[in-house]
Chain A
Amino acid sequence: MQPFKYSAASFFKYLSLVLGALAALIPIIVVFFASLKTNAEYASTGPLTMPENWLNFSNYTKAFVDGKMLLGFMNTIIIVLISIAGATLTGSMMAYILARFKFRGSKLLMGAFLLATLIPGVTTQVATFQIINSLDLFNTRWAPILMYLGTDIIAVYIFMQFLDSISESLDESAMLDGASYWTIYWRIILPLLSPAIVTVIIVKGVNIYNDFYTPFLYMPKSSLQVVSTALFKFKGPYGSQWEVICAAIMIAIIPTLVAFVSLQKYIYNGFAQGSVK
């Protein structure tokens, strides 16, 4: 820990951090304010005006009950858990063989994953829909799960990045003890990858949690709604009350926030340092 110096550089550093934080927060604070306002208040006050009653949770109860948010959370949790577990496994396996073995076609594989990421997803909807339908998965939770399971290049890259910092001598010494590659992956690589796994879980989890198009298209059945589709039900040409939508947005944010706060120390304190010694 260096002594804290009041210099121009550190002043600029903190100024930039504060500005960045403000820029990130203000648009959301506005939503938070709106979620605590009554309908009349929302219509008559400016966005930065604080709500009259900080304990006006009526919009929240309305959003939660009318939007059947609980059902949404249940479905979301199921989908997120299965998808993330699967994506982490497949992603780390893929990264393991790509990082540790040089074989013919590894470049090709890498390229194939990268190319897939470049395809603008919106444009292939119709074909994808036909495929899901022929697999008989339409209106089941498996449709989005399978689509999210598809290993994405981001996960592979994060794992590979991390594998680079795990010394190969670890693998080699295990091999001297007669461990199989399978054992090495399970006993050595996977545990050491934990910080990267957390990062991947966050990145993928957020994407899945916020994705509305996939569940919307593939699971229109009302008993299968997820959080983001529940959010959408408030919107539409026939009626929506923004202060309730704002409350719904806040409700949708809270679990992610909790998950993030409880996982963040794993991300921040990458404990890769210890592995080499």
Chain B
Amino acid sequence: MERLSNLSYKNQRLLIILLFSLVPVALLLTFSYLPVFKMFQYSFTSWDGFSKKMEYVGFDNYKTIFTRPEYFTVFKVSLYYFFATFVQMGLALYFATILSFNVRLKNWFKGILFFPTLLNGVAIGFIFLFFFKPEGTLNTLLDLVGLGAWQQKWLLNPHLINISLAFASVWRYMGMNFIIFLGAISSIGSDIYEASEIDGANRWHQFRHIIIPSIKRILQLNLILAVSGAIGVFEIPYVMTGGSNGSGTFVIQTVDVAFKYSKLGLASAMAVVLLGIVILVTILQRVLIKEEK
């Protein structure tokens, strides 16, 4: 490969850009964009997902969606997760910050906080069913600490069910955000802190003026992903409640339409609508973040 260096840097640059992006872009197109493209195609048909008949029906599916407001009422469920997202980010950032300074048993705490992320989604569904049962972990705990009066039927009460599920979601994903933030914070050189301490900065100043700016990019990305994740919530409610008792989300609805009622065309149209909403919200976020600067 040493012959590369005989080329001028300009040509090298071109070559390296092409070479390095070839495989990722090929994979991206094959497994992300091609399926979306096909999904678009399906959304204009009445295909059931497996038979050889695929009738073109124009915009019928989209008409169906927009004339049925009940399809959109489920988005209020996303609000719970949306709110939970900020709790999750806040916790992750808080723990990542205090654990990047000197704390006793630091590595223990890091490991423990990260641990839930290592679990399998279905295991988590089961763990939390167990957790929220009437005689389950949470109520037993409340009893232990003398808060027996606070016991609830966490999944039965329609006002609590989504909060409970959002809690499970925070429990599951907080560790991942935490570890990513921790990684980003640990790449800040210690000399910067030292310099700031000489200038008399306290922890809050350091957090505000050193940590936040240097992990801004990761923070923004995580926020965008978390918000779009809140719109596309699927696994936790699906595994735990199957979307019943008012915990259904748009994606669960889409999956039901596709597989329970064999309307893949309609489901694809729903997925396209969902994707549109996610993209809109993301653009909105970026604009908002830009304005803040």
Contact = CB atoms under 8 A, between A and B. Distances in A.
Interface of A: 1-2, 4, 13-14, 16-17, 20-21, 23-28, 30-31, 34, 46-48, 90-91, 93-94, 96-97, 101, 103, 109, 112-120, 122-124, 126-128, 130-131, 146-147, 149-151, 153-154, 157-158, 160-162, 164-165, 175, 178-183, 185, 195-196, 199, 202-203, 206, 210, 212, 228, 231-232, 235, 242, 245, 249, 252-253, 256-257, 260-261, 264-265, 267-270, 272-273, 276
Nearest to A106: B17
Contacts of B240: none
Interface stretch (B64-72, B102-110, B152-160): B102-110
Interface of chain A, helix or strand or loop or mixed?
helix
Residue among A91, A126, A147 with the most chain B CB within 10 A? A126
A113 B28 contact: yes
B55 interface: no
A216 to B, nearest CB: 11
Contacts of A260: 111, 114, 118
A26 B109 contact: no
Given A2-B102, A48-B141, A28 B221 contact: no
A101 B13 contact: yes
B27 A151 contact: yes
B224 to A, nearest CB: 7
Interface residues of B, number: 103
B275 interface: yes
Interface string B79-122: 00000000000010011001100111011111111111111111
B4 interface: yes
The 10 nearest A-B residue pairs measured at CB = A123-B271, A270-B186, A127-B38, A116-B32, A93-B20, A127-B35, A124-B35, A180-B4, A120-B232, A180-B5
Contacts of A160: 217
B45 to A, nearest CB: 12
Nearest to A109: B21
A120 B276 CA distance: 11
A267 B5 contact: no
B210 interface: no
B62 interface: no
Contact of A47 (B4, B116, B130, B255): B130
